[in-house]
């Protein structure tokens, strides 16, 4: 990233149907461009309701190829508005082979690169292992006209290894499209602990790597297919600086466009005073590749 840029995160509900969801995303991209933004991040799987609340083979019909119809629409939006767009799409790679895939569109509308979600959860209400094959593209930043984007997806955000590898590969910013929320039956103090943990771990990645970070979540209640429980997506999207400081932060209700300036000089200055990459003891980290140390 050679210069400061304006970055935006679109916090939106995704329970209105594919056409309406995508139209709203496009409207927010246009709004961001009017604010001179050069980067717009959309929530995880923003096209559809969060279908992973149950295991249903019919949901595979929602997947599409990359490139495909949505790529064509977002490519045009990127070119029309001269912005870089980060989207995530339910990718049909081959019969029986599907991924949760981030697609980055450059300002000219070209696909700059993709990232397939690496860490796949399997929890009540989040049955993603049924749908998504783990990614096979590694932790490689995507080069764009505005810099190298370290794009990761949701569950990847809990893993310091993923953020570190993106940083070591030259990422200028860490980006996390997300779909995460509460079980409405949980007690309020438990909900707060979960939210605080989610925010804290990501701000920690910004600090540990001296990089700005964008976390973009959806909002709103989405019922489960059996109408039991469902998920209340908790929003709280934010953009943080390289010391984890908030540059912009939404609440759990706002249907909003977050905006912040990302300054590469700020990252350079922070890394000079907190030289974590310099002081890493790489010769002592070999056992990190083990599942567990007995």
- Helix extents (H) in 121-263: 160-168, 188-209
Given 44, 91, 128, 222, the catalytic residue: 44
Q: Among residues 14, 154, 216, 222, which one is catalytic? A: 154
**Span between the terminal Cα atoms of the chain, in Å:** 42
Positions of E strands within 19-83: 39-41
Contacts of 128 (CB under 8 A, 6+ apart): 52, 100, 120, 121, 122, 155
Q: Is residue 154 flagged as an active site residue? A: yes
Q: Give the C-alpha distances (Å, rounded to integers) separating 156 from 44, 114, 160, 176.
A: 12, 15, 9, 8
Quick one: which H or E segment has residue 97?
Answer: strand 97-105
Q: Which residues pair with 231 in a beta bridge?
A: 222
Residues in the chain: 294
Q: What does the alpha-carbon distance between residue 207 and residue 197 come to, in Å, rounded to a whole number?
A: 15
- Cα separations in angstroms, 227 against 220, 222, 231: 15, 9, 10
Catalytic residue flag (residue 14):
no
Element (H, E) at 80: helix 69-81
Strands 181-182 and 231-234: antiparallel
Q: Which candidate in 8, 71, 91, 117 is catalytic?
A: 117
Residues with active-site annotation: 44, 117, 154
């Amino acid at each position: 990233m050679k210069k400061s840029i304006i970055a935006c995160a679109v916090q939106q509900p995704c329970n209105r149907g594919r056409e309406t969801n995508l139209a709203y995303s496009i409207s927010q991209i246009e709004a961001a461009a009017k604010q001179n933004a050069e980067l717009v991040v959309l929530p995880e799987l923003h096209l559809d309701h969060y279908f992973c609340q149950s295991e249903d083979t019919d949901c595979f019909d929602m997947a599409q190829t990359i490139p495909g119809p949505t790529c064509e629409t977002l490519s045009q939006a990127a070119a029309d508005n001269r912005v870089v767009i980060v989207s995530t799409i339910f990718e049909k790679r081959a019969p029986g082979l599907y991924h949760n895939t981030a697609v980055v569109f450059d300002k000219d509308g070209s696909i700059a690169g993709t990232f397939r979600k690496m860490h796949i959860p399997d929890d009540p209400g989040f049955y993603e292992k049924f749908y998504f094959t783990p990614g096979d593209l590694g932790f490689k930043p995507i080069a764009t006209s505005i810099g190298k984007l370290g794009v990761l997806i949701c569950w990847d955000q809990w893993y310091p290894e993923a953020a570190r590898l993106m940083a070591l590969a030259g990422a200028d910013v860490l980006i996390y499209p997300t779909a995460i929320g509460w079980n409405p039956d949980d007690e309020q103090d438990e909900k707060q602990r979960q939210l605080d943990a989610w925010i804290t771990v990501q701000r920690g990645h910004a600090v540990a790597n001296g990089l700005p970070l964008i976390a973009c979540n959806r909002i709103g209640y989405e019922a489960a297919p059996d109408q039991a429980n469902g998920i209340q997506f908790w929003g709280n999207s934010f953009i943080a600086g390289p010391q984890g400081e908030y540059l912009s932060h939404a609440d759990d209700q706002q249907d909003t466009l977050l905006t912040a300036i990302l300054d590469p000089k700020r990252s350079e200055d922070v890394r000079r005073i907190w030289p974590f990459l310099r002081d890493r003891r790489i010769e002592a980290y070999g056992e990190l590749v083990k599942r567990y140390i007995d």
